[in-house]
Homo-oligomer: A and B are copies of this chain.
């Protein structure tokens, strides 16, 4: 496409990290909104409970940032399997700090560079990061339905800090 906007930068690495952390803060509030048992056992339509979805986000966030930064990919779905809401939130908070530390270490050229994430998915680094964020938004939206089905008001979607 040859247009005036073709080479206009609209999102910087710094903006993207801020957006991601904003979404992660909202996801944290969504986890918190579930009663302990419902977090692990409740779902709608035979889908995965929200704890399992949160575990998926945890399994992607830092491994993707490290993979994009270094070209070394952890085993997908590895890492801790939290068994309580408290454990999930502790891992979440640790990842929040790690993300702030590790994201700025991604070498600029790695965002555009094509790599094979977790030995399976071949795409530019930026596309893997966007996938992780979009996947979190997508599944968190599902968590909102679980909460509504339980009669619980979800956190405000537009609040991101």
Contact = CB atoms under 8 A, between A and B. Distances in A.
A148 interface: yes
A151 B6 CA distance: 42
A137 B141 contact: yes
Interface string A1-22: 1011111111111111101000
A131 interface: yes
B137 A134 contact: yes
Interface of A: 1, 3-17, 19, 23, 44-47, 103-108, 111, 126, 130-131, 134-135, 137-142, 144-151, 157-158
Contacts of A3: 14, 104
Contacts of A13: 5-6, 8-10
Contacts of A148: 44-47
Nearest to A152: B45
Nearest to A134: B137
A12 B150 CA distance: 41
A122 to B, nearest CB: 13
Given A1-B104, A131-B158, A158-B131, A11 B9 contact: yes
A131 to B, nearest CB: 7
Contacts of A146: 145
